[in-house]
Chains A and B, each alone.
Chain A
Amino acid sequence: MTGSLVWFDAVMGLSLVGIAAGTLLAKQHFQSTVMFIFFGLIMAIAWCRLEAVDVALAEAAIGSGLTGALLLNTLAAVRRHHAQSPEDHSRDRRSKDSRNVAAASPVATGNSRRLTGLLIGAFSTIAAVTLVPVVIPLATAGNLRGITSVDLLPASGVDNPVTAVLLNFRAYDTLLEVAVLLAAVFAVLPVTQFASGLEKTPPLGPVLATFIKLLVPLATIVATYVLWVGTKAPGGAFQAAAILAAVAVLLILAGATPPNCALRRWRMLLTMGPFVFLIAAVEGVFAGRNFLEYRLQWAGVTITIIEVALTASIALILTMLFSCTLPTNSESVIDSPGATGPTARSNTNP
């Protein structure tokens, strides 16, 4: 680390804390959301500085981009709901809940929120100060046991240490993460009203159309590359899936119909990644090895197959989670099965 970059890192670290505080203390939810997106972008640069490019990619694509879009959509949905029933105070429980979420900050909530923010700020400062003596020896002494994942890399079947940890050494964590994502989309899908169709938005004109025509093929290539390169350089299933989901989100925002998950093929795609992962995990048990212990000479191939399946599933899961917050229109006709064209192609590409 060179001298001038220490200052860069210090300013970046401090501004991260500042933006985090701003996100928590902002009076309006829109401000909070925008600051949250901004926080994700600065965080991605911080991960780059820590030479964790994998995490930076995931943070920028999922943490900042997709979550940001999700939050903005949710905010718009809450506002719509608020505008539809301004007089209704207690009859509709849902509207009351959403009003609590979107409280226009009366004095009491403002004060309590400020207090909460101060408490969180004080707590994180204390935590940071107490952690410093712990982290610095760790950073200088290297790994506790003297064995790093890099030493074990030849046994993992891949050349990228992060992929080796995510899909081999600590594959259990990744498997459960994907299960959580799947559970989330299962929880959300039944309460969405895709059957009634999405609200028709006016076409946004030739500029956006051209932009999408240029960007969608390029982003699809980038996603495929990121997936493929994941075995030996930063990249992998989550990053590729986030880019594909971003492509799908762009297409949906431009008027494409989101995948209709009442259809069996989309549901199969939703579960394909976790399913392939589980098969690979259980295969080890039946062959007399441990759960999630791959056949040594096939480890690389196994990981690549799991990653391809995971990419497709995670991309669809993220797309569906986003689509659930879109405005629906009860007057519209029911989606026809064939109307899922462009999104379908972009999702199944890898």
Chain B
Amino acid sequence: MNASEWVGGVLIVLGAMFFCAGTIGLLRFPDVYTRLHALTKADNMGLALIIFGLAWQAESWWDVAKLILTWGLVMLSGTTCCHIVAQVALRADIEPWRQRSGEPSAGHGGMPDDR
């Protein structure tokens, strides 16, 4: 592996780590709003890193353009979906989760109580 492949590889691995973090957040966070936050923040950043990693190794500018178009479209749909899910949740009167003092939060979905 030469230096260029290393740069691309490191970017892709970093991106995969963001996806991992986002998935853990999705599974462990207490309510729909915080899960959305974990998912979209991590996925946008993770996808960006993976796209840049792939674009770094792309053979032509045309491939780079297609990768960036893919990135843009996923960002667009991800953001919109997040917005709609949050809006529907708010309309359904789902209360945003709050850590109440002196009360374990396990009942809200298994958030580890670290305070």
Partners in one complex: yes
Q: Which residue of A lies closest to B81 (CB)?
A: A211
Q: Is the CB of A205 within 8 A of B76?
A: no
Q: Is the CB of A211 within 8 A of B77?
A: yes
Dominant secondary structure at the B interface: helix
Residues on the A chain within 8 Å of B83, using CB: 205, 207-208
Residues on the A chain within 8 Å of B87, using CB: 204-205
Residues on the A chain within 8 Å of B80, using CB: 207-208, 211
Residue A188 at the chain B interface, CB threshold 8 Å: no
How far is the CB of B82 from the nearest CB of chain A, in Å? Answer: 9
> What CA separation (Å) do A300 and B83 show in the bound complex?
46
Residue B84 at the chain A interface, CB threshold 8 Å: yes
Pick the residue among B76, B79, B84 that contacts A215 (CB under 8 A).
Answer: B76
- Count residues of chain B with CB under 8 A from any CB of chain A: 9
Residues on the A chain within 8 Å of B76, using CB: 211, 214-215
> What CA separation (Å) do A204 and B83 show in the bound complex?
10
Residues on the A chain within 8 Å of B77, using CB: 211, 215
Residues of A198-237 contacting chain B, CB below 8 A: 202, 204-205, 207-208, 211, 214-215, 218
Residues on the A chain within 8 Å of B73, using CB: 218
The number of residue pairs between A and B whose CB atoms lie closer than 8 Å in the complex comes to 19
How far is the CB of B83 from the nearest CB of chain A, in Å? Answer: 5
> What CA separation (Å) do A208 and B86 show in the bound complex?
13
Residues on the B chain within 8 Å of A207, using CB: 79-80, 83-84
Residues on the A chain within 8 Å of B79, using CB: 207
Residues of A265-296 contacting chain B, CB below 8 A: none
How far is the CB of A38 from the nearest CB of chain B, in Å? Answer: 13
How far is the CB of A147 from the nearest CB of chain B, in Å? Answer: 35
How far is the CB of A58 from the nearest CB of chain B, in Å? Answer: 20
Residues on the A chain within 8 Å of B84, using CB: 204, 207-208
Residues on the B chain within 8 Å of A218, using CB: 73
How far is the CB of A317 from the nearest CB of chain B, in Å? Answer: 25
Residues on the B chain within 8 Å of A211, using CB: 76-77, 80
Q: Which residue of A lies closest to B83 (CB)?
A: A207
> What CA separation (Å) do A29 and B84 show in the bound complex?
22
Q: Which residue of A lies closest to B72 (CB)?
A: A214
How far is the CB of B89 from the nearest CB of chain A, in Å? Answer: 13
Q: What are 12 A-B pairs with beta-carbon distances under 8 A?
A: A202-B91, A204-B87, A205-B83, A205-B87, A207-B80, A207-B83, A208-B80, A208-B83, A211-B76, A214-B76, A215-B76, A218-B73
The 9 tightest CB contacts between A and B, nearest first, are: A211-B80, A207-B83, A207-B80, A208-B80, A208-B84, A204-B84, A211-B76, A214-B76, A204-B87
